[in-house]
Chains A and B, each alone.
Chain A
């Protein structure tokens, strides 16, 4: 029995889903799904960027004539919706998918098929929303689509139909992913991977998923009401029938503010991985970093009405929400200082991921400061809905989220593809992004303080806004160039970048112990973890001397099933792997992996058919047909076991 046999490569039964297009359509592998998220989200990031650039061209000078008012309103609505729901969130999801099982030492996520379903639903929702462009009916209500402008009376066209259905589909994807990842992190950590040993990115994921599970139902409720109003004649937002227009705002911002943290916390997590590696120091104040994540998330539910200071809530509510908003600055500030503490006294290597991480620290600080300015309601009355706010949230979302995500892409690209991205192009990308970003968004502070309202299609001459807008548009052009360089770098490095090896950066966490790209089963044997920085324990023990380890003789965590008792991590042999078959397959190792299946994709198609039936003249037979496909695929999926039966 205990004989090691080099089984012939072709011994396993070759499944039809193991290669070619089917291997992607039917995949349940979290690493493949992560890559699908990554490339899809980057594609939408480019689309959202093009929309933004057209907006900037239109606003270059007074009374711009590049696009019509209708198109302009569609552009800024879709720019916001795209960047939030189809670029930043799924880019974060790409990392949740690719990294979390690797970081906690698991084979896959808790529900691999549900995970595939989440991705397909996201893809369907994002395509659905953008199909509207073909009908010249892209959503045009702003990304927060205030009632009653979003109702049939004031938005009679298909535009907001696409938005309301599209958002409902995207929300479903996030919710399904939410409890999948919570379960994964609670239940699938490797032995010894205590909560306080988890990499901070996994912590950020964990907290983010709780935010999703608790805040997305708000948008689900809000959008369901709107859907019923628009299609079935209910009166949730119809002011003519006595509805209160603020119901939408409360529901939307109860979702919308936690959403801000859903967008930023994963980037914080990535930066907390990158900074220690390139400072060659452990993260400064790990416990405080974890607690501040939790505190930010918790406080994030108590500040929603700071988006509504101008609606007249009365002095008491204004004061309460002003103060809760100020409080949230404290844990956020702690993170900034702890990152500085991490770098202090370190041995900093300015690789591209490190530059983007430092970029986040410097730019997010600016967004944080202007955020505190909004927390004071009387002052906010002069800032809200002006370009000052536009500047603020772009410093948070571009300077924060996108910088962090770029850091993550450069940092983990070698793990994902086995190849390094070009440092030369990467540095061009960083500096042009950094300069372009500041040129684009810093003048918006001035435009806003000088009275320029947001979401305006044209502005008049002689308002004192011309110079600010000229500079912003020039900055946006630089961002376009920077992004092109990034795309070139990505495509070229994927094809012909330098081989990365297991651990190109000298990083501390266990995902760097396995080959790049990792085999389907991730770890040949599940690792046992004894400290926060297992790789440094082995490769550079002097770096982790001050970090808590398992006390000697601590009882190993019992593994419920299976016999992987090897109490150490596989020796990270930095072998150059030429082909993915260079390491033994799961089948050869006797590891049972989830069966590939297209049922999640079929279920998603059923949903699509239903929603198209709804938007296409409420065609009942088509709606029912879609429902039947969905239920049938779901049922077939639930009936087939996850793994092949033996």
Chain B
């Protein structure tokens, strides 16, 4: 028999491990993870501007070609929309819609990665060429890695949705992955501005 204890006549029920605020602990955790990652990128971009300000010519080979980067920016920013729609869908308990939207977002993410890799291969410099090359590939490479992690997380969401492990009552996983995906898009805007736009304003 399961014993039920009481204290002052009140059963000591499940006293929460997961916090008492209005938001779930996991949500806060993701928020501060996002803040940490955002800070990391902010400091990477700080380094870019610092090295640029100390260099006589920056970027050494002239401002970068914009076409692919603009296409990529549009793709990644737009991919936040299906991700958001997926989150709304699970709140309506519409698992099918979630799966569909998540796959759309993931496909856009994959397109981003392919275009990014294409652009890398066209650059005349490498990571070891000079300060600019080191910064360019480190900053975009870090972001690339974040997109890859985001894609894996989306796949996990899709898998969970298919395995019936997310629901309107338990949307937290989808919401946090959505927040992460928005971060990846937002960070890209800053990266895009720094690496592609700022040389034209220099």
Asked if chains A and B come from one complex, the reply is: yes
A560 at the interface (CB under 8 A from B): yes
- In the complex, what residues of A have CB within 8 A of residue B1's CB? 5
- In the complex, what residues of B have CB within 8 A of residue A560's CB? 16, 19-21
Contact A566 B28, beta carbon cutoff 8 Å: no
Contact B133 A235, beta carbon cutoff 8 Å: yes
Contact B20 A3, beta carbon cutoff 8 Å: no
Contact B17 A594, beta carbon cutoff 8 Å: yes
Contact A234 B127, beta carbon cutoff 8 Å: yes
**Number of B residues with CB within 8 Å of any CB on chain A:** 49
CB contacts under 8 Å to B, within A166-182, are 175, 178-180, 182
Given contact pairs A221-B47, A241-B131, A590 touches B13 in the complex (Cβ within 8 A): yes
Partner of B5, one of A189, A242, A243, A589: A589
* Bound: A247/B134 CA distance, A: 14
CB contacts under 8 Å to A, within B114-145, are 127-131, 133-135, 137-138
Partner of A3, one of B4, B51, B137: B4
* Bound: A449/B73 CA distance, A: 57
**What mask results when residues 398 to 427 of chain A are scored 1 for a CB within 8 Å of chain B, else 0?**
000000000000000000000000000000
Number of interchain pairs (Cβ within 8 Å) = 188
- In the complex, what residues of A have CB within 8 A of residue B14's CB? 561-562, 590-592
**What mask results when residues 192 to 223 of chain A are scored 1 for a CB within 8 Å of chain B, else 0?**
00000000000000000000011011101100
B62 at the interface (CB under 8 A from A): no
* Bound: A610/B33 CA distance, A: 23
B32 at the interface (CB under 8 A from A): yes
* Bound: A236/B10 CA distance, A: 63
Q: Closest residue of chain B to A522, judged by CB?
A: B15
* Bound: A521/B14 CA distance, A: 11
Contact A188 B20, beta carbon cutoff 8 Å: yes
Partner of B29, one of A179, A232, A243, A592: A179
**What mask results when residues 8 to 48 of chain B are scored 1 for a CB within 8 Å of chain A, else 0?**
11111111111111010100110011011001101110010
**Number of A residues with CB within 8 Å of any CB on chain B:** 74
A233 at the interface (CB under 8 A from B): yes
**What mask results when residues 86 to 107 of chain A are scored 1 for a CB within 8 Å of chain B, else 0?**
0000000000000000000001
B54 at the interface (CB under 8 A from A): yes
Partner of B18, one of A11, A114, A561, A589: A561
A593 at the interface (CB under 8 A from B): yes
Given contact pairs A187-B21, A191-B20, A563 touches B11 in the complex (Cβ within 8 A): yes
B195 to chain A, nearest CB (A): 16
**What mask results when residues 334 to 366 of chain A are scored 1 for a CB within 8 Å of chain B, else 0?**
000000000000000000000000000000000
Contact B32 A178, beta carbon cutoff 8 Å: yes
Contact A188 B39, beta carbon cutoff 8 Å: no
- In the complex, what residues of B have CB within 8 A of residue A108's CB? 17
- In the complex, what residues of A have CB within 8 A of residue B9's CB? 2
Contact B12 A589, beta carbon cutoff 8 Å: yes
- In the complex, what residues of A have CB within 8 A of residue B19's CB? 110, 183, 187-188, 560
A212 to chain B, nearest CB (A): 9
- In the complex, what residues of B have CB within 8 A of residue A180's CB? 29
A43 at the interface (CB under 8 A from B): no
Which of B23, B36, B42, B133 has its CB near the most chain A CB atoms (within 10 A)?
B36
Contact B17 A590, beta carbon cutoff 8 Å: no
Q: Name the prevailing secondary structure of the A interface residues.
A: loop
Contact A187 B23, beta carbon cutoff 8 Å: yes
A468 to chain B, nearest CB (A): 40
* Bound: A108/B16 CA distance, A: 10
* Bound: A591/B55 CA distance, A: 62
Contact A591 B128, beta carbon cutoff 8 Å: no
B3 at the interface (CB under 8 A from A): yes
B46 to chain A, nearest CB (A): 8
Given contact pairs A218-B43, A247-B47, A183 touches B29 in the complex (Cβ within 8 A): yes
Given contact pairs A217-B43, A642-B17, A566 touches B10 in the complex (Cβ within 8 A): yes
A228 at the interface (CB under 8 A from B): yes
Which of B15, B16, B44 has its CB near the most chain A CB atoms (within 10 A)?
B15
- In the complex, what residues of B have CB within 8 A of residue A182's CB? 28, 32
- In the complex, what residues of A have CB within 8 A of residue B28's CB? 110, 182-183, 186-187
A10 at the interface (CB under 8 A from B): no
Q: Closest residue of chain B to A112, judged by CB?
A: B17
CB contacts under 8 Å to B, within A508-546, are 521, 523-526
Contact A526 B15, beta carbon cutoff 8 Å: yes
Contact A4 B21, beta carbon cutoff 8 Å: no
**What mask results when residues 224 to 244 of chain A are scored 1 for a CB within 8 Å of chain B, else 0?**
110011001111100001111
A620 at the interface (CB under 8 A from B): no
B201 at the interface (CB under 8 A from A): no
- In the complex, what residues of B have CB within 8 A of residue A4's CB? 4-6
A457 at the interface (CB under 8 A from B): no
Contact B15 A107, beta carbon cutoff 8 Å: yes
- In the complex, what residues of B have CB within 8 A of residue A3's CB? 4, 6
Partner of B32, one of A183, A565, A589: A183
B169 at the interface (CB under 8 A from A): no
Contact B4 A565, beta carbon cutoff 8 Å: no
- In the complex, what residues of A have CB within 8 A of residue B135's CB? 236
Contact B25 A188, beta carbon cutoff 8 Å: yes
Contact A214 B50, beta carbon cutoff 8 Å: no
- In the complex, what residues of B have CB within 8 A of residue A552's CB? none
Contact B29 A251, beta carbon cutoff 8 Å: no
- In the complex, what residues of B have CB within 8 A of residue A243's CB? 51, 131
Given contact pairs A187-B28, A247-B50, A524-B7, A562 touches B134 in the complex (Cβ within 8 A): no
- In the complex, what residues of A have CB within 8 A of residue B130's CB? 235, 241-242
- In the complex, what residues of B have CB within 8 A of residue A110's CB? 18-19, 25, 28-29
Contact B134 A235, beta carbon cutoff 8 Å: yes
A584 at the interface (CB under 8 A from B): yes
Which of B25, B35, B55 has its CB near the most chain A CB atoms (within 10 A)?
B25
A1 at the interface (CB under 8 A from B): yes
Contact A214 B39, beta carbon cutoff 8 Å: yes
Contact A235 B7, beta carbon cutoff 8 Å: no
Contact B21 A186, beta carbon cutoff 8 Å: yes
Given contact pairs A187-B20, A588-B5, A563 touches B10 in the complex (Cβ within 8 A): yes
**What mask results when residues 62 to 104 of chain B are scored 1 for a CB within 8 Å of chain A, else 0?**
0000000000000000000000000000000000000000000
Q: Footprint of A on B, CB under 8 Å? A: 1-21, 23, 25, 28-29, 32-33, 35-36, 39-40, 42-44, 47, 50-51, 54-55, 127-131, 133-135, 137-138
Q: Could you name 17 residue pairs across A and B whose Cβ atoms are closer than 8 Å? A: A7-B3, A183-B19, A183-B32, A186-B21, A187-B21, A188-B25, A213-B36, A217-B43, A221-B43, A228-B134, A234-B133, A235-B131, A243-B51, A247-B51, A560-B20, A590-B12, A642-B17
